[in-house]
Amino acid sequence: MMITDREKRVIEREITGLVKAEGTTCRITRPSVAGTGEFYGPREGAETVIAEALPVEFHYGRPDNLEQEGADATADVEFGADVKEGDFLELAGVRYRVTDIEPHPLYGARAYKTLVLEREYKE
């Protein structure tokens, strides 16, 4: 073992503190009913609010590498955040669907998760 359990807890606490220090929060909702097909994608019949103000470190995607990354943005959240693929993240009135979640452990500590996001384009 490279680091002790105490050191792991310190890492987890410090990284969570960094995410919260960013001062940005978002709303997370989860579809509770399967959506119906529409031109711009499925429209969910109902959603459940998972978090009203989840702390995030948000990163807008760059147009020049959007095709390579396949995402409009990413958001780093604390490792224990209750976010799943298919959830919606809303920030500044714009909705994004979580298409992938990448965990980032650090020497066995549960550091943070990166949410890969695609912007929702609906009327």
pLDDT (tens digit, 9 = 90+) per residue, 43-79? 556 888 999 999 999 988 776 555 556 688 999 999 9
Number of domain units in the chain? 1
**Where residue 97 sits, what CATH number does that domain have?**
2.40.10
**CA–CA gap between residue 95 and residue 18 (Å, rounded):** 24
- Contacts for 53 with CB less than 8 Å, ≥ 6 apart: 25, 26, 27
**CA–CA gap between residue 74 and residue 58 (Å, rounded):** 6
For residue 22, the Cα-to-chain-centroid distance in whole angstroms is 15
Domain containing residue 76: 5-119
What's the pLDDT band for 32 if we cut at 50, 70, 90? Answer: confident
CA dihedral sign of residues 74, 75, 79, 84: negative
More confident residue, 46 or 119: 119
